Amino acid sequence: MIFESSFMPQFCANSQNISGYFVQGRLFGDQLSEFVSMDGCSGNSTTTTPFHLPRPDELVKLPAFFVNTRIVASTMQGILCCVITLGNWRSRFHICKPSTKQWVKLPSPKMRYITEKVALIVLRSKPLHFKIIRLSSPPTSQPYHYSKLGLITHYRCEIFDSEYWRWRQGKDILLLSLSSFFEPYAPAVHAAGLIYFQLCHGQVMALNYDGEEVFPRFSLPNCPGIDDKYNDGHRLINEYKGKLGCTCLSPNGIIMLWVFDNRRRDWELIIKEVDIEIIKGEAKYAIPRGFYNADIALMAQGNRVFFYKLQDKSFNLVTLKCHSRRIFFPFRSDLEPMDIRMPRATIISSTKHLYRPSWISFVTVFLFLFGTFLLFSHA
């Protein structure tokens, strides 16, 4: 019943839950995050305001152009992982619950490395226990690693565990050619107890909660007219009924859906052909971005988003402000405040050994040692 197209709007109306997608894109060069959903699931009621990504209280008075807030991962438990940058200052990781406007600042990982992909996993809701997996690449000034097999792209893996309140370094991720990098518009997918990242040229990588690859990388399913060598974004991984899914739009305008079996490590075709002729009248090149539920496909072209019901071939249309570089983050939330029990300050301070000391620390230590040397030299 919960996968029927009529269930989610009724459930949201009765429980005042919020369910939809945060769409992150660009508007005249500026970062913009918008929330889209079906009627009745976007927080428009007598008790909530139109849903959006809030700003932390301490940053509300700062100019909008000075605060750059970027979503890097989402969950279906109401939590977002965001990176906030103030002007040209150092970026900081945060956890946010938009429905209650709660923000929690996190210790910083190795921010001199460039963030490529982030995954957020909620292990427990009360009190909140979560993990963050961050994959980053060294600055362009640092050379790539070479081996006998050829050029290797090197990604650093870091894991944040809220119970210990610190980042730790995991095993590095190595890709065997410069052409193997992450699909920029495909966020991490949490399904079947694993984290999946889509690579360019039709490959998928599966990690456990410790950032380790659990089995060899595998290919996306074959879609008519789509060549692995030229991944044009018509195939995207997503979560479908708790499993890893992959949507495809063939050149003749037919939606297809596969589900991945972890044990057999093979794809199973679930939805063979779905005609979208009715949407072509509104947007000729709309591409599937995932499934809102088992019977509602999410499609987008330009600044237009369609919630397409497969049963009766009707759709809800939402118009966005942003027009380019859009990433769709699936999101679901209740309205209860986030229950996170912050560790003691002594636990937070234990993370300092993971990062390079500041210049003030070096100067302090130098003055202490120099003063000690002068004291004993005159004794």
* pLDDT reported for residue 242: 92
The Cα 314–Cα 281 span in angstroms is 12
Instruction: Give residue-wise pLDDT tens across range 191-219.
Output: 999 999 999 888 999 999 999 999 999 99
Q: Kindly state the tokens that stand for 164.
A: 């210990």
The Cα 18–Cα 42 span in angstroms is 6
**pLDDT beyond 50 at 322:** yes
The Cα 33–Cα 144 span in angstroms is 33
**pLDDT beyond 70 at 349:** no
* pLDDT reported for residue 202: 87
The Cα 206–Cα 192 span in angstroms is 11
- Judge contact between 314 and 9, C-beta under 8 A: no
Q: What is the pTM of this model?
A: 0.83
Compare 314 and 364 and report the one with higher pLDDT: 314
The Cα 236–Cα 257 span in angstroms is 10
pLDDT tier, 232 (very low <50, low <70, confident <90, very high otherwise): low
**What is the strand order of the sheet 287-293 is part of?**
287-293, 296-301, 304-309, 314-319
Q: Enumerate the domain spans of the chain.
A: 7-370
Closest to 97 in 3D by CA, of 22, 196, 12:
22
* pLDDT reported for residue 205: 95
pLDDT tier, 344 (very low <50, low <70, confident <90, very high otherwise): low
pLDDT tier, 4 (very low <50, low <70, confident <90, very high otherwise): low
pLDDT tier, 46 (very low <50, low <70, confident <90, very high otherwise): very low
The whole-number average pLDDT for the span 134-153 is 63
pLDDT tier, 368 (very low <50, low <70, confident <90, very high otherwise): low
**pLDDT beyond 70 at 101:** yes
**pLDDT beyond 70 at 371:** no
Looking at CATH, the fold of the domain delimited by 7-370 is given as Neuraminidase (2.120.10)
pLDDT tier, 181 (very low <50, low <70, confident <90, very high otherwise): confident
Q: Which of 71-85, 145-159, 309-323, 342-356 has the lowest mean pLDDT?
A: 342-356
With tokens 């988003």, the residue in question is 305
**pLDDT beyond 50 at 363:** yes
Instruction: Give residue-wise pLDDT tens across range 235-244.
Output: 899 999 999 9
* pLDDT reported for residue 94: 95
pLDDT tier, 370 (very low <50, low <70, confident <90, very high otherwise): low
- Report the amino acid identity of residue 358: S
